[in-house]
Amino acid sequence: MRFKIVTLIICCCCTFTALAQTNYAVKGIVSDTTTNVKMDQATISVLDARDSILQKFTYADKGAFNISNLKPGKFLIMVNYPDYADFVESFTLDASKPVYNFGNIKMILQSKLLNEVIIKAKVVAIKIKGDTTEFNAAAYATQKNAKVEDLLKQLQGMKINQSGVIIFQGEPVTKILVDGEEFFSDDPGLVSKTVRADMVSKVQVYDQKSDQAKLTGIEDGVKVKTINIVLREDKRKGVFGKVDGGYGTDDYYTGQMMFNKFDPKKKIAAYGNIGNTGNVGLSGDNNSKYGAGYSRGNYGGNGLPFARDGGAHYDNKWNNDKQSINANYKIGALTTEGSSNTMTQNNLPDNFNKTTSNKSFRRYSFNQNLDADFTSKLDSTSDLSASVYGSIDPGTSDNKTQSFTLRGNGVLLNDNDVSSIGSNNYKYMIASANYTKRFKKKGRSISLNTRGSSSQFRSDNYMKSDLKYYNGMGELDSVNSIDQYKPTASNSNSVSAGFSYNETLFKSISLSASYNFSQSIGTNSQLSFDKSTDRYDKLDSVFSNNFKVKTITNFYNLRIGYTTTKVNLNIGTGISDADSEQKDQLASADLNRRFTNWRPNARFTYQLSKAAAITLNYNGNTTQPNDYQLQPLRQNTDPLNITLGNPMLKPSFNNSFSFNYRLYQPTLDRGINFNANYGRNINTIVYNRVTDSSGVSTSQWSNLTSKQPTDWKVNTEFYGHATKLNFILSLNFEVDGRNSFNYVNGQLNESKSIDYSPYVSIWANTATYSYNFNIGPKYYLNSSSLQQINNNRHGFFTDLGFSTKLPYNFFISAEMNYQYTAKNKVFNQDFSRVLLKSSIGKTFLKEENLKITISGNDLLNQNTGFSRYGSIDSFTETRNTTIRRYFMFSVTWDFAKFGKSLQPQQ
Amino acid sequence: MKYVSQFFICLLILGANTLFAQNKHFITSGVIEFERTANMFALVKKKVTKHTMENKPFYEQYLRTEPQFRTLKSKLTFDNNTTLFTPTAPEKGVHWWYDTPMANQLNHVFSDLNTRTSIIQKEFYERTYLVKDSLRNIKWKMTDETREIAGYKCRRANALVLDSIYIVAFYTDEIHVSGGPESFNGLPGMILGVAVPHENVTWFATKVTDTSVDKKTLVPPKKGKEINNKQLKEEILKATSTHGDYSIVELKGLVL
């Protein structure tokens, strides 16, 4: 009894004390955020909010916890569970709230959390923002003294094809900027071979408007795939470059020099290149102004080249960056000699002709170009910019072609010997100026622009042709000989001026209206002279033309844009009204035409999440027939293929749609690129051919209204990082399809083709070794409705490459390229080729910047230029001479000095 | 259409996260092997004080002839919220010229984390004490820093012990026992690493064995004169009172 009383008293006392000093406590339940499972044994710690001193801790019992006997104050609760992200939250205990209940604490798996927030510790390789894809150079390892090219090769979605064209997600990159500025007039090949990989902090890829659209504000639907190389802060000031020389068997040699001096405000660069190994990569050209890849002045693997070129770049900003200048000069000469063999099957209704031709050629071109941009901020609200570009391009050519055509039954139809020798010169100049004034209201601005251009083309050709026709028995029927002198002269001058007005409504909507006026005057004379006795002075009026064309065009453009952080929508339309007057100087016949061209477009970009974005694009485009399609001019340069103009042509209209989806998950280092394009042409301009019984094809353009040709392309890439083996795996699937129409001998021909090329790529790069492996089959479906026999074919390719460092600073690398195209019903020969290249060498000096290399090109001596393709009404296969096996000894010296002292390289 | 559907299937595969929360196993009994590393160069140098300059030649000779680090092994057995820290007898002693308490493992420590009491059998030169007292109460300052020790992810916490000794400890929340080597305790998990930077000594776990423990092996030490912490400190100070400014060095080595 006494015991009971004591107990009771003690209990009461406890209760009293408890009442007197409130029991401060915190409680809650810990569970997994996705599965809602209660997390038993999670660790819960209570820390003092001021100094993080541990107050109390406990382990959760089936997720529930209750920590009592705390003092009042400010605290932090920390919940931990292995593999889960820490949960930390502050709370306060005071008299008014002595017990803090956290309720349900949701824990997130670290692996899941990392997908949603980008953590600092790991280098995130790719960032997708709107239509820009940004690569972090730190995530990609390159060897010492590597160039930007070596970095680009590693980027997911980026490829460099055999002719050196950089392709991103299936589209060629036509511009590389350095820190947002033009460097060597946006010659991608040159920039990627000059700038060092260790200078790069980021690589951004996006679509830019064409230079012309930027100047005039008039949307032309042209998207220029652009790479911007962002330099590292500590590499913006320095001197770097390379000297390279090599000599090999069969008198092959190369020499290269590059020098660059970079300053945050000033860049000076110069390069020189000489060689006959086809390594003309440095002389890629200003393609954005000429279109068509990096082709001009480039050696496409056809023939044996001898190249000499050089160039210089200068840019400078001064007066607090208010004024800047950016100038480039390039000079280059290229001689190419070679021969080619072409087999063409021309499809006819229920029949075909097969032409075999052998051609030998020698070409020489010498081009120089200069461009300069000047910009000035007149004051805080107005800018003025001016640019000028000029080029001179003389050259000579000497071609000899022997060809013969067999009928479908194998009986000789005709044979022809053509030779032409001549010289040509092309001069071009363009100057433009732009003034922009911004108003007080944000987004309101007006800009004025003007442009003038002049081009001049001259050529002098001597042509001889000996064409023999054979009858159905294969006996000589008649002979047609041509021996003519053909001078050509064309001039074109144009001026334009315009303005655009921009306005912003409700912060997110922008409006823009533009007007432009242009006038161009062109003359075009193509004359043919027959030989009288010893001089070519007898004008052949049938094959001579002399025109003068004057065109006045008015452009109107209206665009509305909507931009928020996630959405970017642009809808616009352009209308142009062209009025042209043509005078035939020889026949004194005039022709006046008027074209109204409509150009609607829309672009929608949506940022789905931090990791993914989509872009939808629509472009409607009126294509006006060009002069050659319209002119009733006659040519006899190829007496077997005669083209006639059609003055009755109307413009065609093309609708094209594209869809792009990009996803990248930083923590897993994997992603998707998906591109789909579809185009449909209305009122299309088709090329109709009439081949007569003697094998002469006469072609004329016309509008096709009954059918609409389509083309489509799907390009899918899945890529991921195999973390254990440390390589990147990319699965690609490309399908390319089109159907096109024309009339052949009055019968409608439909040509269909679908190319399937799935392939797998694996690559890995570290500072000491790298390897890559690509493999894939190719299927081409190609048929013509005129023919029973299709040109379906299949093939296969694989590329294999590796390079590695060896002990004592030796290194070795090898590259193998295998290509196979099976014979088919049209071409009765398989084609297979193995190209093997290898090099071994040794590096010297601490930074490994002196290198001696012995390399072997085409070790198996199997290289032949080969291509096989199907056009609308013919199937063609070409083989041509190209560079084959040689061995070369070369010495390379890379130099780099950044900041005040030599920087250690990564 | 085929490609479109293929594309979306792949998208789903990539997008889905197939990881689910698993019930983690938490260790509550087992054996941990520790390695104690002492920087002897620094410890021997502490024997050379203003008043004991005669020790300087010994220190210099030590630098020439002896290794810098002395590594000793120990074992921590734990079960049912009790821990027993047992030093492994060293293979090689320290020559008396250079000897100092911090160079050796002097303690067998039995801790009962439920009652928060400990029994420490302590070697004090020729004497042995059995110190029975409450557990050392340490104010831990938590940090965000983590590192891996013996395969376990550990979080860092800092503290001052014995009023002035700065220690850094690393504990893992995968072992749900609030103990550690020697007398270090009080964190929300087992301490697998301790560094005492100014005393030039560290303990790091080399191996954790998750096993059941025989109750018979987890018994408190018995040898020695029973004493509490306060009495121990008095005894040490009395015994080293003639050692001048070296006595504080000895005290730290004896009580840490």
Domains with residue ranges and CATH for chain B: 30-255 (2.50.20)
Between the CA of residue A731 and those of A222, A717, B243, what are the distances in Å?
Answer: 29, 6, 77
Whether A81 sits inside 8 A of B24 (CB atoms) is yes
Distance from CA of A52 to the nearest CA of B (A): 5
Instruction: Write out pLDDT tens, residues A370-388.
Output: 999 999 988 888 999 999 9
Asked if A37 and B153 come within 8 Å (Cβ–Cβ), the reply is no
Mean confidence (pLDDT) of chain A = 83
Asked if pLDDT for residue A889 goes beyond 90, the answer is yes
Q: How far apart are CA A433 and CA A375, in angstroms?
A: 10
**CA end-to-end span of chain B:** 75
Distance from CA of A59 to the nearest CA of B (A): 8
In chain A, what are the domain boundaries? Answer: 2-114, 118-236
Residue A258: other Cβ atoms inside 10 A: 23
Chain B contacts to A (CB-CB under 8 A): 3, 7, 10-11, 14, 17, 19-21, 23-24, 26, 139-143, 153, 155, 157, 173-174, 176, 178, 186-189
State whether B139 and A45 contact (CB < 8 Å).
Answer: no
In this predicted model, which residue has the larger pLDDT, A419 or B47? A419
Provide the sign of the torsion angle of the four alpha carbons A280, A170, A145, A884, taken in this order.
negative
What is the residue whose two structure tokens read 């061995």? A887
* Region A587-609 average pLDDT: 85
How far is the alpha carbon of B130 from chain A, nearest alpha carbon, in Å? 30
Residue A123 CB partners (closer than 8 Å, separation 6+): A136, A138, A139
Which pLDDT does position A496 carry in this prediction? 94
pLDDT at B16: 38
* Predicted local distance difference test score (pLDDT) of residue A505: 86
Residues 6+ apart with CB under 8 A from B12: none
> Which residues in chain B are contacts of A665 at CB distance < 8 A?
14
Nearest CA in chain B to A40: B23
B163 φ, ψ to 5°? Answer: 70, -30
Residue A282: band (very low, low, confident or very high) from pLDDT cuts 50, 70, 90: very low
A interface with B, Cβ–Cβ below 8 Å: 32, 34-35, 37, 39-41, 43, 45, 47, 51-54, 57, 59, 78, 80-84, 107, 109, 111-112, 115, 663, 665, 670, 672, 674, 714, 716, 718, 733, 735
Give the torsion sign (CA, B190, B195, B199, B201): positive
CB contact under 8 A, B157 and A54: yes
pLDDT at A861: 85
Strand order in the sheet with A200-209: A126-129, A132-136, A200-209, A223-231, A175-178, A181-182
Token reading at A2: 């006494």
What is the C-alpha to C-alpha distance for residues B175 and B208, in angstroms, rounded to an integer?
10
* Residue of B24, B25, B147 to mutate for A, most A C-beta atoms under 10 A: B24
Please judge whether A82 and B174 are an interchain contact, meaning their C-beta atoms are less than 8 angstroms apart: yes
**A109 interaction partners in chain B (CB closer than 8 Å):** 19, 21
Kindly report the nearest CA distance between residue A754 and chain B, in angstroms.
14
Question: Which residue in A40, A45, A111 is closest to B142 by CB distance?
Answer: A45
Q: Which residues does chain A have within 8 Å of residue B157's beta carbon, measured at their own beta carbons? A: 54
DSSP-derived pairing of the beta strands A181-182 and A175-178: antiparallel
Q: Under an 8 A CB cutoff, do B3 and A735 touch?
A: yes
Q: Which residue has the higher pLDDT, A165 or A78?
A: A78
Closest CA to A692 of A773, A632, A746, A652: A746
Inter-chain CB proximity A51 and B141 less than 8 Å: yes
**pLDDT tens-digit profile of A215-256?**
776 666 677 889 999 988 888 888 999 999 999 998 899 898
- A83 and B7 in contact by Cβ < 8 A? no
Nearest beta carbon to residue B21 from set A39, A52, A663:
A39
State the residue for tokens 């084959």.
Answer: A884
Task: Give the pLDDT score at A618.
Answer: 94
The CATH number fitting domain A118-236, selected from 3.30.429, 3.40.720, 3.40.50, 2.170.130 = 2.170.130
Contact check, Cβ <8 Å, B176/A59: yes
**How many angstroms separate the CA atoms of A433 and A414, rounded?**
56
Dist. CA A246–CA A261, nearest whole Å? 25
Q: Smallest Cα–Cα separation from B119: which of B137, B104, B134, B106?
A: B134
**Nearest alpha carbon to residue A522 among A483, A492, A484:** A492
- Considering only CB atoms, B20 lies closest to which of A35, A45, A52, namely A35
Question: CB under 8 Å to A587, separation ≥6 — which residues?
Answer: none
Size of interface A-B (CB pairs under 8 A): 78
Confirm if A165 and A294 have CB atoms less than 8 A apart: yes
Q: Looking up tokens 């109709």, which residue turns up?
A: A688
What per-residue confidence (pLDDT) applies to A185?
64
Residue A66 has pLDDT above 70, yes or no: yes
Nearest CA of chain A to the CA of B165: how many Å? 17
Residue A186 has pLDDT above 50, yes or no: yes
Gap between the Cα atoms of A416 and A399, Å rounded: 14
Burial of B182 (0-12, 13-18, 19+ CB in 10 A): buried
What integer is the mean pLDDT of A705-719? 92
Q: Which residues of B touch A61 (CB under 8 A)?
A: none
Q: What was the pLDDT predicted at A661?
A: 92
Contact A39 B189 (CB under 8 A): no
Contact B176 A57 (CB under 8 A): no
Q: Per the CB < 8 Å rule, is B24 touching A672?
A: no
pTM over 0.80: no
Over residues A131-175, the pLDDT tens digits come to: 788 888 887 888 888 888 888 888 887 877 766 778 887 778 888
Rounded percentage of chain A residues whose pLDDT exceeds 90: 28
Q: Give SS3 for A882.
A: coil
Cβ neighbours of A716 in B, within 8 Å: 3, 7
Considering only A105-114, A186-195, A579-588, which range has the smallest mean pLDDT?
Answer: A105-114
Average pLDDT estimate for A579-592? 80
Using a CB-CB cut-off of 8 Å, the residues of chain A touching B189 are 43
Return the residue in B142, B170, B208 with the most chain A beta carbons within 10 A, the one to mutate for interface testing: B142
Chain B residue numbers touching A52 (CB-CB < 8 A):
141-143
CA distance A62 to chain B (A): 11
Alpha-carbon distance values, A592 to A517, A595, A625, A648 (Å):
19, 10, 14, 11
Q: Is the dihedral of CA B58, B63, B64, B66 positive or negative?
A: positive
Rounded CA-CA distance A581/A521 in Å is 10
The CA distances from residue A66 to A90, A102, A291, B157, in Å, are: 16, 10, 72, 23
**Residue A663 to residue B11, Cβ atoms within 8 A:** yes
Whether A53 and B176 lie within 8 Å, measured CB to CB: no
- Sign of the four-CA dihedral A883, A884, A889, A891: positive
- Tell me the chain A residues in contact with residue B13 when contact means C-beta distances shorter than 8 Å: none
pLDDT digits (tens, 9 = 90+) for A617-661: 999 988 888 777 877 667 777 778 888 888 888 889 999 999 999
Chain A nearest C-alpha distance from B111 (Å): 18
In degrees and rounded to multiples of 5, residue B57 shows phi and psi of -60, -35
Residue A111 clears pLDDT 80, i.e. is over it: no
Are the beta carbons of B74 and B31 closer than 8 angstroms? no
Quick check: A672 and B19 CB within 8 A? no
The residue of A36, A45, A112, A714 whose CB has the most chain B CBs within 10 angstroms, and thus the best one to mutate to test that interface, is A45
Q: How confident is the model at residue A755 (pLDDT cuts 50, 70, 90)?
A: very high
**Shortest CA distance from A715: residue in chain B:** B3
Q: Nearest residue of B to residue A78 by CA position? A: B142
For A57, the closest of B143, B153, B188 (CB atoms) is: B188
The values of phi and psi at residue A66, to 5°, are: -155, 110
The CATH H-level superfamily of A2-114 is: Immunoglobulins (2.60.40.10)
Contact A701, A633 (CB under 8 A): no
Q: Say yes or no: do domains A2-114 and A118-236 share a fold.
A: no
Q: What share of chain B is helix, strand, coil (3-state, %, to 5)?
A: 25, 40, 35
- Inter-chain contact B14–A78, Cβ cutoff 8 Å? no
Q: How far apart are CA A756 and CA A740, in angstroms?
A: 18
Best mutation target among A41, A55, A69 (most B Cβ atoms within 10 Å) is: A41
ipTM of the complex: 0.84
For residue A280, pLDDT beyond 60? no
Given a cut of 50, whether residue A287 has pLDDT beyond it is no
CA distance A556 to A500: 10
Residues in chain A within 8 Å Cβ distance of B14: 663, 665, 670, 672, 718
- Whole-number Cα distances in Å, A377 to A165, A316, A386, A816, B202: 36, 14, 12, 53, 65
pLDDT less than 50: residues of chain B: 1-2, 4, 7-22
Q: Which of B3, B26, B186 sits opposite A41 (nearest CB)?
A: B26
Distances (CA, A) of B121 to A177, A638, A852, B215: 74, 110, 71, 19
From chain B, pick out residues whose CB is under 8 angstroms from the CB of A111. 17, 19
